């Protein structure tokens, strides 16, 4: 846990190249992960890692937005910015999970959805909107954990969940500080000031009832220092699954609806 950090400090931590990625959490939290590929419309998207795994011998669908750890990996992963086929792959597996009654766990870590012309040509806006619409009606428990950046609609398409948690130094915002500063002040260099106004930190969002839980991080979160964090996350996921195990499908959908209506 790090005290006295500014919102801009937390933005930099959330984006740090050494910060663990979705695949790191998947390998340490879940067993027998089988990655599945493709959206059955256009192709696969390396910015989204998705598949079936076991947690305490229970079948789970787990889907994460995936960044790289160096330039080569980031090019492969498109810097964690999904294209339409990434969101459609995620939705395909969420609907599969609904069919087979598997809880869904989503790991959020994206600067935002990819905004290149080819993504727009393939229906980026529709793909995100479809996720929001379809997720609202799924009859299995859905948990979203923001592990790094939670950027704009690209993150929200993984966030229509029964509960949303954030790691202590992650961020979740409708726009990046640089984008906010460029629009409001015509000066992207004012991003540190913008970060303070956006209320994008975990503590801000918990106070605003946008998220449900903050998970403390070690002082320096890296692949080598995350074992205690993994123990905490496993315990919290176990409690989450227990909470929803005795709830009916209609109650799961209703609780998700009420969560967003109450904001």
Task: Confirm whether 2 is domain-assigned.
Answer: no
For residue 135 the two structure tokens come to 């997720």
pLDDT digits (tens, 9 = 90+) for 85-124: 999 999 999 999 999 999 999 999 999 999 999 999 999 9
* Residue 180 scores a pLDDT above 80: yes
Q: CATH no. for residue 132?
A: 3.90.226.10
Task: Confirm whether 66 is domain-assigned.
Answer: yes
Give the C-alpha separation, 5 to 169, whole Å.
9
Task: Confirm whether 1 is domain-assigned.
Answer: no
For residue 145 the two structure tokens come to 């954990």
pLDDT digits (tens, 9 = 90+) for 132-159: 999 999 999 999 999 999 998 999 999 9
Query: What pTM does this model have?
Result: 0.95
* Residue 2 scores a pLDDT above 60: no
For residue 126 the two structure tokens come to 């529709």
pLDDT digits (tens, 9 = 90+) for 56-67: 999 999 999 999
Q: At 4, is the pLDDT very low, low, confident or very high (cuts 50, 70, 90)?
A: confident
Nearby residues of 125 by Cβ (< 8 Å), 6 or more positions away: none
- Can you give the length of the chain in residues? 263
pLDDT digits (tens, 9 = 90+) for 235-257: 999 999 999 999 999 999 999 99
Task: Confirm whether 221 is domain-assigned.
Answer: yes
What domain range is 202 assigned to?
Answer: 7-261
pLDDT for residue 138: 97
DSSP H helices, the chain, are 7-14, 22-29, 71-77, 84-99, 117-121, 124-135, 152-156, 177-184, 191-197, 202-207, 227-245, 249-261
**For the chain, how many structural domains are there in total?**
1
- Please check whether residue 113 is in contact with residue 82, taking contact to mean a CB–CB distance below 8 angstroms: yes
Give the C-alpha separation, 188 to 19, whole Å.
24
The closest of 105, 107, 109, 51 to 79, measured between CA atoms, is 109
Task: Confirm whether 146 is domain-assigned.
Answer: yes
Q: At 219, is the pLDDT very low, low, confident or very high (cuts 50, 70, 90)?
A: confident
Task: Confirm whether 254 is domain-assigned.
Answer: yes
């Amino acid at each position: 846990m790090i005290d006295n950090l500014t919102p801009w400090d937390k933005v930099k931590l959330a984006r740090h190249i050494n910060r663990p990625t979705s695949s790191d959490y998947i390998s340490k939290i879940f067993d027998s992960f089988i990655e599945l590929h493709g959206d059955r419309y256009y192709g696969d998207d390396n910015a989204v890692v998705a598949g079936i795994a076991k947690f305490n011998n229970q079948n789970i669908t787990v889907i994460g937005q995936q960044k790289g750890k160096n330039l080569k990996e980031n090019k492969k992963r498109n810097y964690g910015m999904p294209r339409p086929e990434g969101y459609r792959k995620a939705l395909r597996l969420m609907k599969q999970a609904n069919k087979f009654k598997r809880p869904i766990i989503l790991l959020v870590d994206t600067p935002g959805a990819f905004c290149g012309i080819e993504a727009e040509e393939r229906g980026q806006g529709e793909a995100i909107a479809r996720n929001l619409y379809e997720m609202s009606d799924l009859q299995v428990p859905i948990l979203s954990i923001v592990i790094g950046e939670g950027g704009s609609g690209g993150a929200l398409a993984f966030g229509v969940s029964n509960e949303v948690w954030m790691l202590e130094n992650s961020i979740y915002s409708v726009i990046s500080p640089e984008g906010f500063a460029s629009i409001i002040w015509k000066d992207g260099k004012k991003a540190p000031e913008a970060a303070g106004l956006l209320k994008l930190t975990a503590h801000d969002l918990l106070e605003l009832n946008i998220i449900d839980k903050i998970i403390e991080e070690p002082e320096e979160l890296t692949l080598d220092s995350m074992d205690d964090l993994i123990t905490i996350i496993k315990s919290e996921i176990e409690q989450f699954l227990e909470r929803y195990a005795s709830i009916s499908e209609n109650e799961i959908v209703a609780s998700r609806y009420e969560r967003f209506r109450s904001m």
